[in-house]
A and B are shown apart, each in its own frame.
Chain A
Amino acid sequence: MAAYVRSKVIVSLLVLFTVSLVGFALLHLSGDLAATLAGENASAEQIAELRHTMGLDRPLLAQYASWLADAARGDFGLSFFARESVLTMFLARIGTTAILAVSALILAIAVSLPLGMLAAVRPNSWLDWMVSGVALSGQALPGFFLALMMISFFGVTLRWLPISGSATPLHYVMPVVVLAIGAIPALMRLTRSGMMEVLEQDYIRTARSKGISSLRVMWKHAMRNAILPIISLSAVQLGTLLGGSVIVESVFAIDGIGLLTYRSIQRGDFPVVQAMLMFVSASYIILTLLADVINAWLDPRLRQKSQ
């Protein structure tokens, strides 16, 4: 197991390095950062001077090397616009986004697992059709539309929930629900198809022939096998959610990672964008690694293969 984790970590670091290099290069080639920074009325001399003071006239690799050296020490530089440390800006927002992301994923799993399981036990029943219907409409409904409808109904008409900001736990209810609804369809369908496949297996028949309760057959025998791909998918979804949702954060006026990234891209705030890129890729990599480890722990066959 230790060797397995070690090899995965090495690969992960290589991936992270590649992402940082490619990201850095693309961001610098995507436009003239000095011109953006200097503003529309700046003269050619002013732009050239700014480029020199910012070090943007140095070779790309040299710029990358100094960025990497700083980043390795946890210094992601200053935002071009906010004149604030990128790390400070990030830390101020990650809490909000993480609460949203984790709650949305937990809600999504809490809904998807039981419904997907029930649909798998009774294929083509009304429940199965309902599950498929919910999955389909969840996928078809754009997040911004759902968010606006919820605001107008629960926020404006019923006045049950606050509609903007992140001051109290109540503020999180609607954004979490919208994010969860985005994650539910894939999870629910994977649970259903995975369970249906597992329930066809010989060892389920064996378990049934032992006279144990059907709940135990479902949970202990079937779910333990069907959950492996669900864990992998959940890891990917949490990664996406941690990157922040621009739509949900804008509609509910939540100052999180998604909105910060979006604004920074718009303004060409390169240090912030590069840092966010690193954060999102690092979360994906760590979460997939975590999913692999959990799966190996749950499935002895994976454990053995890795030795």
Chain B
Amino acid sequence: MTALLDISGLKVDVPGRAGTLHAIRGIDLSIGAGECFTIVGESGCGKSLTAMSVLGLLPRAAILSAERMSWKGQDMRRFSRRQWANLHGPEIAAIFQEPMTALNPVLTVGEQIIESFVHHRLGNRKAALARAGELLERVGVVPVERRLAQYPHEMSGGLRQRVMIAMALMCQPKLMIADEPTTALDVTTQVEILKLLKELQAEMGMALLLITHDLGVVAHMADRVAVMYAGQIVETGSVASVLTRSAHPYTSALLDCLPTRDQPLTPIPGVVPALFGELEGCMFRNRCRFAREACADPVPARSVGEGHVYRCLLEANEVAA
């Protein structure tokens, strides 16, 4: 199976007054048709920037470089403005973290939903409205007629996120990018939205790139996962393998952060390092209880089999012990 999205050696630098911020420092990523891939990590680890890189919507100041970055075999690094525009909607669509601010306050929900469909010439306004109606019905934004005429401020956060989902689905994308889609919502709404995303993914046969900081979400949703720390993927593989046989101390520490009923949660000591200047070795070493001197040298990637890869000097079974 050829991957929809195939990226290797992705780097994003953001030059600034305090020096250049190396926000993403060489990550590999590939997403196959119909699969659910999650990127998990703390704030500032570069997971959202990774999503924006794939969308071609990085901030103007950011500089992207990659050894390979392709969509269905086409080189995305050479995409013209027009090619990006053709990609957005029918190929890749996105929903974002803040449903409260992600919709335009002065346009009706209906106008915003149909825009992409009409612009990509998939049909006229009437056809667009019909499809918007079906999708809103499907995601549970009813009664459709009234909702289409409403403005975003007349809806709750959960409803707005459902509107965002319907909007993203309008052109039947092959890949949906969801950047922390439930972080800003209350817990019960979170569960509903995630469930909906999972169902829609199966129904539409699309791939889902889900960005989250919540390993619980990963366990529920994903086929494969990449754990990001300080602009690098420290561990990746199938969800079953990574979560049950985590080989990297950071993954294992994240798992310890999950609240359970009978055990107190264990926070990770220390803070995320600033990503300026020359960065060598494992960035987690100053927070890691297994750290040793050699961790300051470049750390090779090691395989545990079936695509499960991690970057650490420890043997695969040492962390769990």
Contact = CB atoms under 8 A, between A and B. Distances in A.
Contacts of B84: 211
B104 A210 contact: no
Contact of A211 (B101, B107, B120): B120
Interface in B79-107: 81, 84-90, 93-94, 96, 98, 101-107
B106 A210 contact: no
A304 interface: yes
Given A203-B102, A224-B107, A301-B153, A210 B96 contact: no
A48 to B, nearest CB: 65
Interface string A84-95: 000000000000
A203 B103 contact: yes
Nearest to A301: B153
Interface stretch (A136-144, A168-176, A213-221): A213-221
Given A216-B119, A300-B153, A301-B151, A211 B105 contact: no
B164 interface: yes
A225 interface: yes
A4 B153 CA distance: 20
Interface string A199-213: 001110111111111
A299 interface: yes
B236 interface: no
A71 interface: no
Nearest to A214: B81
Given A210-B89, A210-B167, A211-B84, A205 B57 contact: yes
A221 B164 CA distance: 16
B120 to A, nearest CB: 7
Contacts of A224: 104, 106-107
A209 B102 CA distance: 11
B316 interface: no
A201 B94 CA distance: 16
Contacts of B55: 209
Interface residues of B, number: 31
A208 B57 contact: yes
A202 B95 CA distance: 11
Contact of A298 (B57, B88, B106, B116): B106
Interface in B261-286: none
Contact of B106 (A213, A216, A299): A299
B98 A210 contact: no
B115 interface: yes
Contacts of A213: 85, 119
Contacts of B171: 211
Interface residues of A, number: 23
A211 B88 CA distance: 4
Given A211-B120, A212-B115, A300-B151, A203 B105 contact: yes
A210 B120 CA distance: 9
Given A206-B96, A206-B164, A216-B119, A211 B89 contact: yes
A28 to B, nearest CB: 49
A221 B104 contact: yes
B104 A212 contact: no
Contacts of B105: 203, 225, 299-301
A202 B120 contact: no
Nearest to A201: B101
Contact of B93 (A203, A209, A216, A225): A209
A207 B102 CA distance: 9
A213 B120 CA distance: 10
A211 B80 CA distance: 12
A210 B57 contact: no
A208 B58 CA distance: 11
B107 A210 contact: no
Nearest to A205: B57
A203 B152 CA distance: 11
B98 A202 contact: yes
Contacts of A216: 115, 119
Nearest to A210: B116
A296 to B, nearest CB: 11
A301 B104 CA distance: 11
B116 A202 contact: no
Interface in B163-186: 164, 167, 171
A207 B152 CA distance: 14
A203 B151 contact: no
Contact of B88 (A210, A221, A299): A210
Contacts of A205: 57, 96, 102
B102 A206 contact: yes
Contacts of B103: 203, 206
**3 closest Cβ pairs, A-B complex:** A211-B88, A210-B116, A202-B101
7 contacts: A201-B101, A206-B94, A209-B55, A210-B167, A221-B107, A299-B106, A301-B153
Interface of A: 201-203, 205-214, 216, 220-221, 224-225, 298-301, 304
